[in-house]
Amino acid sequence: MEWLKKLDTIFFIVGRSLLGLYFIGPGLSKVFDFASTLALMRMKGVPFSSALLPLTIAIQLIGGIFLILGRNLRLNSFMLFSLTIL
């Protein structure tokens, strides 16, 4: 039964890492295609898009990295959840 606990730890780390990469990928794509993303946000009528896009990028990148590293998991999970819902 001890080996099952070790597997749980490994699966938890792998799951956290995959979830972190799920947010880092789109964050990086927004960085490299900033102008097009900003134009799309403006076309869709997002208010304050010039301020919200850098904030979104920062939340996705920092939150994803912190998920992978296991730092402030509850706070980061809540922030990324809120970002996804919005």
| For residues 55-69, average pLDDT | 95
Share of the chain above pLDDT 70, in %: 99
- Quick check: 85 pLDDT over 90? yes
Q: Which residues of 72-84 are buried (b: 16+ CB within 10 A; e: fewer)?
A: eeeebeebbeeee
Count CB-CB contacts under 10 A for residue 25. Answer: 12
Among 9, 22, 1, residue whose Cα is nearest residue 76: 22
Q: pLDDT digits over 35-45, tens only?
A: 999 999 999 99
Cα dihedral 18, 20, 74, 4 in deg (nearest 10): 20
Specify the pLDDT at position 2: 77
- Quick check: 1 pLDDT over 80? no
- For 32, phi then psi, to 5°, come to -75, -20
Q: What is the pTM of this model?
A: 0.86
